[in-house]
């Protein structure tokens, strides 16, 4: 913990990383030999999206595979909006990233061959033309996060601060300075209940996505778009927020909160079925169960609405029981706990918000529009995913861009730097709220109308309704934020509302269906002109 407990004085580090998942921790480890680093996380190590990732990390690791194949698969999945330079950059750095993780001790699953040799087991997921997804059984994220955080805890230059949530970034323009670089952040220490000032030469947003903006999501509760909202308020451009990926298969059970059924299960032969046991995916795409996620999610959504069904079913019970329990031990155990034996029964599934393809615009070094401010991982828009993220490219992006951001930051550490004076957080004109119900009510209303109006299938009328509601909520939240002491829930609600507005505005601008954005008013992709990203720029 920081040594100075007087919150009037800022904590100073060379690098402040906001977010403790794969992106933030891998960046911290790469920087640790060269700089003092603070990593702030909203909760414990198992609270973020990385820990809950099941599938794996895509990378070219076999001779029969190739960079060109991985690049082409990614471009195909991206609906014409991928930045080919970003795709190539990410793919070509994949193998060295996996080697780095293996050296750290990430326990990737291996197959033992007849000659006694061991090779990594690779699975195949939707959109991939080869087996190239390296994994640790069906709990890759847990293995990755645990390994990274164990190393980080033993690095003397890294301070890990759990139960801290960033309130807002501090920039020169906000303080009336001549420059507008990012110089730190105000951070709520949840255990002590007050806001502390963190000052840094470089600040990195690595807070993950914004999928909690929807009523149903595979993500943990902390996926509230904090980094995207803070970056937007600091003056960063945001792109392609209309492309919210809905994972096709979230476990449907009243006692199962946000439990994902990995795409790897379909990659190993799992079949999607109607309540009567018949398959249906071959009617929607030639790749059937291995079609890109947007197609599979819309197909499930269509069949549920057509039949008035609560869910569809994913069946892998035709595979040997030993195969199922060895390859999918986490899924098997969770379903068994709920009375579902996946070696004998199909799994009830529904689509749920899963991944934010848009975000804060960056270059290949993770640099944003604000000097000394970086964004990496799901928070960032690098151009890799385009209109639809291909399975298991997300963890790869986190790790590759953490490395490039680290290299860029290290190249500047020797430069002269003058620390600015920062005013401490001022709570002299606010009071404790006696109406916490306002926060919970607005939180529920927001997630309900986003699910109803800005979900898997959209229309102009639905988007207009959503825009009217978000404008009113933004006004109410801003008034509440200005008059009462902040809490974790209020910070997250404020950020979710900003992100919801960005999603709605981007969706209203796109007059076509492309990738993850599907609208009944414009059901076709507009091929009359080159595909363009939806870019929003903050007003000054």
Note the pLDDT tens digit of each residue in 12-36: 999 999 999 999 999 999 999 999 9
Structure confidence by residue, pLDDT tens digits, 238-284: 999 999 999 899 999 988 877 889 888 998 999 999 999 999 999 99
46 pLDDT tier (thresholds 50, 70, 90):
confident
Please return the burial class of 466, using the count of CB atoms within 10 Å of its CB with bins 0-12, 13-18 and 19+. Answer: buried
More reliable by pLDDT, 239 or 47:
239
**475: Cβ contacts below 8 Å, ≥ 6 apart:** none
- Cα–Cα distance measured from residue 510 to residue 330, given in angstroms and rounded to the nearest whole number: 39
Structure confidence by residue, pLDDT tens digits, 130-157: 999 999 988 899 999 999 999 999 999 9
- Statement: residue 333 has pLDDT above 60: yes
> Which active-site residues does the annotation give?
293
Q: Determine if residue 498 is left, alpha or beta; phi over 0 gives left, psi from -120 to 50 gives alpha, anything else beta.
A: alpha
Instruction: Output the pLDDT for position 6.
Output: 44
More reliable by pLDDT, 193 or 231:
231
Q: Is the separation of the CB atoms in 383 and 78 below 8 Å? A: no
Structure confidence by residue, pLDDT tens digits, 347-396: 999 999 999 999 999 999 999 999 999 999 999 999 999 999 998 999 99
Instruction: Output the pLDDT for position 1.
Output: 38
Q: What is the DSSP letter of 232?
A: H
Residue extent(s) of CATH 3.50.50.60 domains in the chain? 13-242+357-410
Residue extent(s) of CATH 1.20.58.100 domains in the chain? 437-521
**513: Cβ contacts below 8 Å, ≥ 6 apart:** 519, 522, 523, 524, 525
Residue extent(s) of CATH 3.90.700.10 domains in the chain? 247-354
For 48, other C-beta atoms within 10 Å of its C-beta total 28
CATH number of 437-521: 1.20.58.100
* Measured CA distances, 235 to 170, 171, 172, 475, 534 (Å): 11, 9, 11, 20, 17
CATH number of 13-242+357-410: 3.50.50.60
Instruction: Output the pLDDT for position 251.
Output: 94
- Cα–Cα distance measured from residue 454 to residue 432, given in angstroms and rounded to the nearest whole number: 34
* Concatenated DSSP letters of 400-415: HHHHHHHHHHHTTTTS
Task: Please give the helix or strand (H or E) that residue 53 lies within, else none.
Answer: none
Instruction: Output the pLDDT for position 126.
Output: 78
**Topology (CATH level 3) of domain 247-354:** Flavocytochrome C3; Chain A, domain 1 (3.90.700)
The token duo for 529 is 């002109």
Instruction: Output the pLDDT for position 117.
Output: 64
Q: What is the three-class DSSP state of 458?
A: strand
> Picking from 137-141, 205-209, 336-340, 369-373, which range would have the lowest pLDDT averaged per residue?
137-141
């Amino acid at each position: 913990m920081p040594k100075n407990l007087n919150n009037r004085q800022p904590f100073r580090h060379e690098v402040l990383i906001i977010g403790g998942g794969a992106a933030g921790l891998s960046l911290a480890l790469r920087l640790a030999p060269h700089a003092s680093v603070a990593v702030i996380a909203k909760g414990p190590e198992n609270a973020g999206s990385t820990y809950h990732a099941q599938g794996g990390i895509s990378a070219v690791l076999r001779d029969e595979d190739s960079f060109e194949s991985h690049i082409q698969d990614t471009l195909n999945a991206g609906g014409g909006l991928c930045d080919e330079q970003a795709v190539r950059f990410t793919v070509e750095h994949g193998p060295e990233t996996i080697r780095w993780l293996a050296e750290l001790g990430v326990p990737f699953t291996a197959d033992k061959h007849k000659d006694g040799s061991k090779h990594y087991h690779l699975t195949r997921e939707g959109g991939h033309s080869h087996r190239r997804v390296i994994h640790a059984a069906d709990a890759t994220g847990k293995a990755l996060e645990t390994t990274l955080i164990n190393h980080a805890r033993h690095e003397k230059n890294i301070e890990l601060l759990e139960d801290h949530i960033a309130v807002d970034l501090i920039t020169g323009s906000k303080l009336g300075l001549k420059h507008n670089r990012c110089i730190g952040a105000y951070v709520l220490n949840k255990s002590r209940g007050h806001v502390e000032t963190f000052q840094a030469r470089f600040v990195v947003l690595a807070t993950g996505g914004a999928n909690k903006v929807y009523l149903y999501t595979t993500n943990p509760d902390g996926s509230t778009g904090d980094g995207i909202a803070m970056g937007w308020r600091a003056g960063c451009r945001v792109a392609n927020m209309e492309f919210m990926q809905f994972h096709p298969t979230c476990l449907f059970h009243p006692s199962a909160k946000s439990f994902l059924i990995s795409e790897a299960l379909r990659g190993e032969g799992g079949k999607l079925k109607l309540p009567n046991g018949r398959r249906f995916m071959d009617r929607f795409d030639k790749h059937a169960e291995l079609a890109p996620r947007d197609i599979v999610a819309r197909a499930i959504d269509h069949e549920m609405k057509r039949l008035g069904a609560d869910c569809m079913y994913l069946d892998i019970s035709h595979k040997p029981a030993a195969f199922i329990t060895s390859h999918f031990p986490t899924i098997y155990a969770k379903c068994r706990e709920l009375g579902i034996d996946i070696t004998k029964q199909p799994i009830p599934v529904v689509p749920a918000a899963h991944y934010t393809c848009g975000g804060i615009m960056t270059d290949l070094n993770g640099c944003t529009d604000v000097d000394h401010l970086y964004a990496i991982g799901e928070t960032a828009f690098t151009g890799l995913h385009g209109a639809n993220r291909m399975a298991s490219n997300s963890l790869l992006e986190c790790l590759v861009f953490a490395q490039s951001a680290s290299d860029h930051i290290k190249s500047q550490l020797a430069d002269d730097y003058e620390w600015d004076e920062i005013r401490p957080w001022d709570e002299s004109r606010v009071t404790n709220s006696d109406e916490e119900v306002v926060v919970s009510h607005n939180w529920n209303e927001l997630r309900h109308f986003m699910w109803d109006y800005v979900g898997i299938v959209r229309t102009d009328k639905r988007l207009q309704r959503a825009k009217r509601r978000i404008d009113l909520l933004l006004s109410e939240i801003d008034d509440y934020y200005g008059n009462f002491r902040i809490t974790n829930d209020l910070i997250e609600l404020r950020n979710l509302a900003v992100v919801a507005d960005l999603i709605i505005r981007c969706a209203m601008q796109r007059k076509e269906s492309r990738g993850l954005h599907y609208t009944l008013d414009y059901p076709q992709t507009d091929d009359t002109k080159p595909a363009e990203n939806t870019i929003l720029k903050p007003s000054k």
